[in-house]
Amino acid sequence: MKDTIIIGIAGGTGSGKTTLVKKLTEQFGEKVVTLCHDYYYRAHDELSLEERARLNYDHPNAFDTDMLIQHLNLLKKDECIERPVYSFVSHNRMEETVNVQPSRVIIVEGILIFENKELRDAFDIKVFVDTDSDVRIIRRLLRDVKERGRCLDAVIDQYLTTVKIMHEEFVEPSKKYADIIIPEGGYNKVALSMLIDKINALLSE
């Protein structure tokens, strides 16, 4: 197997990372495997649902980043992995896993993937999706209420008490490590086209 290309796509909550990943997946099809940092939230079977709901999920310690790094190394060696599954309803890791086969291109998405140096160094291309904070909070509100079954008050409280603070402390400073900064993510057609061209160039090497 030729060298694997690993692309990191970071940015604040609701910035448009998922849209960008979707566009790239549509472009490259079976050549792409996507791993979300959110899959690797730590399990907390020892805590009640109420206790898990109060945890800070926007801090680097909330993630089992070491497992993600191990999985990337296995995929680079042309070995399959069993990636975890996380439930945003129960705030915990599920018992089942998903089998992921090696692929030519691996996209890793997450708000904090540039914060960890070892993980950051694994990326061949580092992309930061930069979007206005007002737009991001509206997108997060809609997503958490419609897709994750949260109530509006809880989403707003979480944003003000942890999300905003962690963004300013960890996410925004990590932008300096990006090779490419894309305003509005997948909605930026010019930047998307340039990124596709770059990936195609790497694939042809």
- Which tens digit of pLDDT belongs to each residue from 94-109? 999 999 999 999 999 9
Residue 102, judged by CB atoms within 10 A of its CB (0-12, 13-18, 19+), counts as middle
9-60 confidence digits (pLDDT tens)? 999 887 888 889 999 999 998 889 999 999 999 999 999 999 998 899 989 9
For the cut 80, the answer to whether the pLDDT of residue 132 exceeds it is no
In this predicted structure, what is the pLDDT of residue 2? 65
Cα 101 to Cα 159: distance, rounded to the nearest angstrom: 35
171-185 confidence digits (pLDDT tens)? 999 999 999 999 877
For the cut 80, the answer to whether the pLDDT of residue 148 exceeds it is no
- In terms of Cα–Cα distance, which of 87, 64, 200 is closest to 149? 87
Contact predicate 60/115, CB 8 Å: yes
Contact predicate 6/108, CB 8 Å: yes
Cα 95 to Cα 177: distance, rounded to the nearest angstrom: 35
Architecture of domain 5-197: 3-Layer(aba) Sandwich (3.40)
* 138-142 average pLDDT score: 80
* 178-194 average pLDDT score: 87
Cα 164 to Cα 166: distance, rounded to the nearest angstrom: 6
> Is 0.85 surpassed by the pTM of this model?
yes
